[in-house]
Amino acid sequence: MLVYYGVCTAVFGLIFGSFLNCVAMRIVRGEDFVHGRSHCMSCGHELSASDLIPVLSFLKNKGKCRYCGQRVSARYPVTELSFLILSVLLYLGIMIAGPEESIRELQFFKYWILTGCLFVLTLTDLESFEIPNGVLAAGLINWIFFTVLETVLRVHNLWWVLHHIIAGTAVGAAMLIMSIAITRVVGKDSMGGGDIKLYALLGLYLGYAGAYELVFLSCILGLIFAFARKKIIAGASKEFPFGPAIALSGYILIFFERYITEWYLRFL
């Protein structure tokens, strides 16, 4: 059954990844991602169902639009396969080494939706240097829904809920204060408001220890991303999107926050 559901996760991850990529692209372009048919970005021709099969349509049409012949960006299969991988890793992490068996499915869907939100805001931040408030709101609604459900099912109690609300508020406030202080010292914005809100959102999910670890891990990944971006993109500006580093850190801590916390508590 583990393999069967793993395959199902991969298939839905591929499909959902295609949808999320479309959502991110439409948000950046100011288009409505709820209504309207998918279309070629070059000629505007509406795409049929056979043109929208993740990865396979790209391979079948040899990376070109079958209506105008223009090359289709490799972003499509790359993002689709990326979310497939993220989904399968999340599934394996929760089903194999996650919480007790009775709540694993619940935890999987909770964090799968969060991963989808992180995926969209990563794509939009990379392209437009902005993190959409609507995506953050979706992540917040997801946390509220599953927290209420988990409380009703007695997976968590009200104290757990309160502590996580405090954690999210505290990390968001701390990053806001730090951002204001750095901005006054260097004379320019150090962190966008979207980044600060993202810290607060992930603090709700991760709690005190996870929020603390999120800050350190995201800073490390941010430095790595900035260095890699400078090496790969000639003439890249000093400004870089920090959202992807925060998002990836949050995704990693979904799996390893407990183990990281246990590790450094041994030294206290």
Residues in the chain: 268
Domain assignment present for residue 46? The answer is: yes
Q: Are residues 134 and 265 in the same domain?
A: yes
Q: How many domains does the chain have?
A: 2
List the domain range (segments joined by +) for residue 229: 129-268
Helix, strand or coil for residue 216? Answer: helix
Which of 5, 23, 3, 24 is CA-nearest to residue 13?
5
Are 142 and 252 contained in the same domain? yes
Same domain, 134 and 225: yes
Of the pLDDT bands very low, low, confident and very high (cuts 50, 70, 90), residue 243 is very high
Domain check: are 180 and 266 in the same one?
A: yes
Query: Looking at residue 268, what is its pLDDT?
Result: 63
162 shares its domain with 93 = no
Does this model's pTM top 0.85? My answer is yes
Helices and strands, number each (H, E), in the chain: 8, 0
- Are residue 78 and residue 156 in the same domain, yes or no? no
Cβ atoms 199, 172 nearer than 8 A = yes
- Same domain flag for 162 and 259: yes
pLDDT tens per residue across span 161-208: 999 999 999 999 999 999 888 888 877 777 888 999 999 999 999 999
**102 φ, ψ to 5°?**
-65, -20
Looking at 74, 97, 120, the residue that finishes a domain is: 97
Query: Is 108 within a domain?
Result: no
Q: How far apart are CA 54 and CA 83, in angstroms?
A: 11
Residues 201 and 158 in one domain: yes
The verdict on 89 and 164 lying in the same domain is no
Q: For 204-216, what is each residue's pLDDT tens digit?
A: 999 999 999 999 9
Q: Is residue 193 part of a domain?
A: yes
Average pLDDT, the chain: 87
Q: Which pLDDT belongs to residue 145?
A: 97
Decide if 213 is inside a domain: yes
pLDDT in tens, 215-237: 999 999 998 988 887 777 766 66
Distance, CA of 117 to chain centre: 5
Flag whether 8 is in a domain. Answer: yes
Q: Is residue 105 part of a domain?
A: no
pLDDT at 98: 64
* 225 assigned to some structural domain: yes
> Which residues does residue 246 pair with via DSSP β-bridges, in sequence order?
none
Question: Does 78 fall in a domain?
Answer: yes
DSSP string, 230-265: HHHSTT--S----HHHHHHHHHHHHHHHHHHHHHHH
